Structures are given as C-alpha cells and as structure tokens.
Structure 1
Amino acid sequence: MKKVLLSAAALLFSVYAANAQESVVKEAKSAKSDPVKAAEILEPALVDPSTANDPETWKLAGDFQKSIYDGENQKLYFLRNGLPSDSPVDTLKLGNSITKMYEYYLKCDEIEQAKVKSGELKKPKLRKKIVKVLADPSVRENMYVLGGTALNNGDYANAVKILGLYIDTSKNPIFETEDAVKNDTLVPFYAAYATYAAYSIKDKDAVIKYAAVGKEHKEEGFRALWALAELYKSEEAADSVQWLATIKEGVEKFPTQEYFVANLMDYYIQKNKVDEGLTQIDAILAKNPSPYFLYVKGVLQYTKQDYEAAIKTFNEIIAQESDYKAEAYSKIGDCYFFPAQVIVEENSKLSMDDPKYATNEAKIKELYEKAKPFYEKAKELKPDNKQLWGQFLLNIYWKLNKAEYDALEKELGY
C-alpha cells in the first residue's frame, strides 16, 4: 500500500511539474512584448524534460531572440543610413541574440527531425519558418560583420564564437536546400580569421578545427596555416611532426609567404639538410624569383660554406636594388669574415714564434680587407641596423685601423 502511495505521489508530482512548466511557457508568451523579459521567463522550460523535448518550446525561445535581434538590427540600419535613433546599437546584445537565435532554432529543428524519424510526427512543421530566418542574407552578413568587429577590437573569444557559428552552421542539414548558405565562398575566408582568433586565446581545438577550413582560401588561407604552425610550436601543444607538415603545406599553398619558407629553410639548416633546402628553394625561385627567396638561397649556400656561390647569389640581390640589398652586402662580408675567424681560432693555439702564425695573420688581414667594404656598405644603407655591421666592423678595425676602431666604438656607445 505504501509503495502504491509513493508511486501515486511521484505521478502527481510529475504532472504538477509539467503543468508548472506549461505555465512558464504561457507566462513567457504573455510577456512577448518585452522579449528580453520573456526570454528570461522561458529559461526554466528549456531545461525541464516536460517542455525541453518539445520543438515548440525552442521555437518560442528562438522567436524571442529574433525579436531582440530585430530591435538592435533596426538601430544598426538607422546608423548605417545616417538616420536618428532613440538609443545606440548594443553590438554585444546584437551578437548574443544572433548566437542564441541560431542555437535555439537549430535545437528546435533537431528535436523535430528526431520526432519525424521516430514516427511521432509525420513531417516537420517548423523547419521552413526557421530556415527563412536563419538563411536571411542580412542575418548571415551581420554574423561575420560582428565577428570581424570583435576580432578588430581584440575580443577574440567573441570573434571565435560568432565567426565559428557562421562557419559551422553553413554545413548544417537545415540548409540542405539553401545553396547560398551551403556554397558560401566567404566561409573559408572567415575561417582563416577565426583560426587566428582561436590561436590568440589558446583554443587548440578551435585552431585545428577552423584551420582545416580556412587554409583553403586562396588569398587569406595563409593566416590559418600560420596560426596552426604557431600552435604546434607552442609549449601548450608542441608537435614537431605536425609543425613540419603545416610549414610544408604553407610553402606549397602559399609560396610567396616568407614565414613558411623561412621556417622551412631554418629547419633544413638546423637538421643539417642544406642540400634538401637548396633543392626546395630553387623550386620556389622558379615560380617566384623574389629578392627574399634569393637571400634565403644565399644563406643556405653560405651555411654550406659554398662561399663563391653565395657571393654570386648575394650580388644578384644587390643588382636588383631591393630591400634586401643591405643584408646582401652584410652576408658577402660574412663570406670573408667568418672564414677568417677559423684562422683566428687556429692562431690562438699557436705560439707567436711559430712561422705559421705570421702566415695566418696575413691571411686574416687579407680576408678582413675583403670583408670591410661590404660591411661599410651595409652600414651606409641601414645605419640603424647595427646587427648587420656593428661587431664585424669593430673586429676588423681593431685589426686594421685603430683610429677607425676608436671612432666606431664611440659611435656604438661602448
């Protein structure tokens, strides 16, 4: 008897709870003239099983968010057209209403489609109405505009949220008949920027997710691969295999982007695979003979200690009157200066009475004399970039001309 009473009480409670949530829905509907308040009233119904499994509940929740969105969007329209408005646009409110509107309408569709599949409903009743709102070009446009604004303002979390929604929903089944959404060519473009935003807040999963889409954009896709490579290089998600694969993909897809080429060549140098790097840079130069890539080739040749070839390459850059002219002059200087350092090191181990010591000193001076005008030219072209010539010239002047040494030492502030 006690068990029967408990069961009856449980049944009574569930009926009471269901009635309570239905009352919440009715109350929310009656407050629809104030959609913000109505949305707050409806919130308990979105989590209570008695109403949360009803697509109409989610449709209503989406409707309230649409009303909030419409109010802010009208202000935005006035602003864009130079018309007076009672209050300024609340872009945060506008963005939140879009994201919630999408969330609630899509949940409505998901539940309704499940009921159709189970046989509980013969056919969906709400999808057409929902699609009409969500596929509206002005709504989609506002999504990427707001996401872009958040990105420009440094609000990366919100940028990922809004741009991510724009990207993710383009492949949602609800848009199966909406070609404009399914084939939206702007999706990869904004995915590239969403990847950057995700990297900025160290959201590893979002970086990987949106990079897969963003890297396919022909112009801006490099941003996605850059963020992905930086992620794999970071302490939080270090992965040397994926880093190298991403850098190589960047070189292949965006051969004009210096970041990928520079990192790949540095990898070849670090791993003592200079010949492989030279083969790669020659292939890149065949498509894009830019001064920077020529400079990279020269550095690889220099690293290989093929100084004659390196000097020839650096002279090609000088002949082009490019921005890398000072760097080219400096590297030609290196082609003489650093071989001299090998001899300097050797002499440090010899007695000054050793005949070879004097021979070596003559070689050092000869190489310094050859290096000197190239460093001086680099100094003339880029006097503020002391890394190109400062310490090198100081060492050379110490050996060749003490007066020049004293003057340079003073100039450098030592």
Structure 2
Amino acid sequence: MRKVLFTVALLLTACFVSAQVSVVKEAKSLKSKPEEAAKAIEPALTNPETANDPETWKLAGDFQKAIYDEENMKLYLPGGQADTTKLYNSLAKMYDFYLKCDEIEQAKVQSGELKKPKFRKKNADALKTLRLNLVNGGGDAYNKGDYADALKYFGLFVDVVNEPMFADDDELKTDTLNALYACYATLAANMLKDNQAVIKYGNIGKNHKEEGYRALMCLAETYGQKEGGDSAKWLEVIKEGTELFPKQEYFVGNIMDYYIQKGMVDEGLVQINKLLATSETPYYLYVKGILLYEKKQYDDAIATFNKIISNNGDLVAEAYSKIGDCYFFPAQIIVEENAKLAIDDPKYNENESKIKELYEKAKPYYEKAKELKPDNKALWGNYLLNIYWKLNRAEYDSLEKELGY
C-alpha cells in the first residue's frame, strides 16, 4: 500500500513539474505578445523547479524589456502617447529579473552545475544600456510626488553598480552620476521618512561635489530626530557639511548654534574666521557678530555688524537690530539690578540714567530695522516698546496700537 501511495505521489509531482515546464513553453510561444507572455510566466517564477532555472528569469526579463521597448518607441513617434507608469515599471522589473537570473546562474557555476554563465554578458549589456532611463523614471515619479517609486528607480540606478555582474566594470564604478543620483534617492527617502534609505544613499550622495550638500542635509535631519536620532552622528555630519560646503548656510548656522548652546564660542569664532578668510559674506559676518555678542564683546560685535551695513547687501536690517541688542540687553542687566533697589537709593537714580543712555543709543538702530523690515516685528517690536515706555510715552502709545496690543 505504501509503495502504491509513494508511486502516486511521484506521478503527481512529475505532473506538477511538467505543468510548470509547459507554462514556460507557453510563455515562449507568446513572446510576440510580451504583456501576455509576462503574465503567462508569472507562475513559473514562484515554482521551486522553474524558479531555480536562470532561463526562466531571463525570459521574464526579456518580456519586460519588450514591454518597455514598445512603450519607449511611442515617445519618439509623432503624436505618440506612452504609458510612462507601464514604461518605467517594466524597466524596473527587467532589472529585477535579469539580476535574479545572474544570481541563480552564478550559484550554478559555483556549484559546478554549469561550466560558465550563459546569460551574464547579454543581461549586463542591456542593464548598462538602459541604466540612465532609470533616472527618467525617478524624476517622473518624484515630480508626481510618488516618492516610493522615485526611491526605487534612483536606488536601482545606484545599487546596480555593486552587482557581481559589474564587479570588473571600472567605468561604471567611477561614474560621477552614482553620487548625484544617490542624492536624489536620499531626497526621496527623506520625504518617505525612510531613515535606513536616507543613511544608505546619503553616505554615497554626500560625495558629489555640487549636490552633495542635499544628501548631508537629509542625513543631519535624520540623525537630529528626537526619537531614534544620534546626536554624535548629527554633529559629525554638520561638521562635514561645513568643511565640504562652506557656502551652505544650513551647516554654518547649525554648527554655530551648537557652539553657542555648548558655551564653545571661542571654537565657533575660530571656525567662522577661517570661513571669512576665504569669503567675507554678509552671513558669515552676521554669524561672527552673534558670536562676539555672546562673548559680550559689544564694541567688536558692533564693528562687525557695521561692516554688513556698509556693504548694503543682505542682512542689513538684522545687523541694525543686533546693534540695538548690543545696547538694549546690557541695559536689561541694570534694569534687573534696579528692581532690587529702593527708589531713594542713590544707586537707583544713577542706574536709571545709565538705562536711559543705553536706550537712547539702541533706539535709532531698532527704528532703522523697523524702517527696512516693517513686517518683521521680531527685529524691533518689543524692544522699541520697552524703550518708548522709558523715554517717550506718546511713542509708546502709538506703537502699542500699531502692534495691536
């Protein structure tokens, strides 16, 4: 009885395998109709017998390439309307299937089942020829807001360089476009909050000389997250960004904020002076002025902010406001001291005179900031209100109305 059952089982298995082989044959017969052929071969991709045959995956890739070629041709025909979703999906599937074909074929070569690979060269040539079209797919998806597909296409463009079939292809490995499109893969991953992909592609993309700052910004954002972030890595990325892309204010601003928060103002001044030695931009001058202000070196800070004003470029209103701060905030220390003194204390009246003197000095700078940027009330609003309260109640009442208090 057992022997009979075992024989029946063998017969069923043989029939099943035969069925899968016929699926492949059917798909081959439909190669002139690639969409039908692609559907017909699908069961063979999951069956253990046919799925372990590199030819199965080669055929599946060929069908996807044929679908891609048909749609791609429409782009060049007068009035042709290509289905770009189908176009790029087929391209991605072709990549997946050819790479799977190579993986299985190489395993068989390693085991001795095959003497040499049959499909590698042809597959590699096809993948390399169509590689740039993955970029078109990535750009098309990104512009549509489909960041998952954008990541898929840009990621394939970058990842294929490390596939075994291209191990000896130095031209591909040194292609500067790898880092460029890794940047765009990083941007797509960042939009998806896919931290692993940001880190993977960001560390490749950061090496691009022009666009690498984008990858570093995404890395900094990922490492800087409150949950799951890494403060040490964040600082490392910010420092790297400052060194590689000193003209990008994002990195300079972040590193200077860090130095201020940690009380490392001297370190910040050393770094900003190095940057100023190469390019005296309004932003670098502004950062230096802030650092000097933090050190309470008000005269030096004022001189630095005056440089910005004399250049009459960016950050002029902000420079006027910060000069006002150099007088206003020292006055606040005296205000706090007076709050602890009796009104009849001689020191009280002496302090009041100092407060008014400092307020008089701050006033025109805040007023100039108001003139230049009337909508940016953070630069002048509450400061002028405090000053007018002390110096001129009529101006105080007028400004209070203007601010809507």
Shorter-chain TM band: over 0.9
Q: Does 1:70 align with 2:69?
A: yes
CA distance in structure 1 between the aligned counterparts of 2:26 and 2:318, rounded to whole angstroms: 74
- 1:109-188 paired onto structure 2 within 5 Å: 109-136=102-129, 139-176=130-167, 178-188=169-179
Instruction: Kindly provide the amino acid, as one letter, of the partner of residue 8 in structure 2.
Output: A
Aligned residue for 1:382?
A: 373
Decide whether the 8 Å contact of 1:297 with 1:313 is kept in 2.
yes
Q: What SS does the aligned partner of 1:316 have?
A: helix
Q: What SS does the aligned partner of 1:276 have?
A: helix
- 1:161-240 paired onto structure 2 within 5 Å: 161-176=152-167, 178-240=169-231
Change (3 A) 1:42 1:236: farther
Of 7-16 and 237-246, deviating more is 7-16
Aligned residue for 2:329?
A: 338
Cα offsets for 1:63-102 (capped at 9, x unmatched): 1100110111111223xxxx122xx221111111111000
Q: Does 1:84 align with 2:94?
A: no
Aligned residue for 2:6?
A: 7
Gaps of 5+ in 2: none
Of 125-134 and 9-18, deviating more is 9-18
Number of positions where the alignment pairs a residue of Structure 1 with one of Structure 2? 405
Aligned-pair RMSD on alpha carbons? 1.4
Shift of 1:6: 4.1
Shift of 1:181: 2.8
CA distance in structure 2 between the aligned counterparts of 1:116 and 1:155, rounded to whole angstroms: 39
Length-normalised TM-score, structure 1: 0.95
CA distance in structure 2 between the aligned counterparts of 1:179 and 1:92, rounded to whole angstroms: 32
Cα offsets for 1:365-413 (capped at 9, x unmatched): 0000000011111111111111111111111111111111122122222
Decide whether the 8 Å contact of 2:132 with 2:157 is kept in 1.
no
Of 352-361 and 61-70, deviating more is 352-361
Shift of 1:193: 1.4
Instruction: Kindly provide the amino acid, as one letter, of the partner of residue 191 in structure 1.
Output: A
Cα offsets for 1:213-265 (capped at 9, x unmatched): 10000000000000000011123431111111111111111111100110111
Instruction: Kindly provide the amino acid, as one letter, of the partner of residue 321 in structure 1.
Output: N
Length-normalised TM-score, structure 2: 0.97
CA distance in structure 2 between the aligned counterparts of 1:95 and 1:355, rounded to whole angstroms: 83
| Aligned with 1:369 (options 360, 381, 385) | 360
CA distance in structure 1 between the aligned counterparts of 2:284 and 2:194, rounded to whole angstroms: 33
- 1:47-66 paired onto structure 2 within 5 Å: 47-66=46-65
Instruction: Kindly provide the amino acid, as one letter, of the partner of residue 234 in structure 2.
Output: W
Instruction: Kindly provide the amino acid, as one letter, of the partner of residue 31 in structure 2.
Output: K
CA distance in structure 1 between the aligned counterparts of 2:6 and 2:274, rounded to whole angstroms: 79
Gaps of 5+ in 1: none
- 1:22-61 paired onto structure 2 within 5 Å: 22-61=21-60
Of 283-292 and 393-402, deviating more is 283-292
| Aligned with 1:261 (options 224, 247, 252) | 252
Cα offsets for 1:264-283 (capped at 9, x unmatched): 11011111111111111112
Instruction: Kindly provide the amino acid, as one letter, of the partner of residue 19 in structure 1.
Output: S
Aligned residue for 2:349?
A: 358
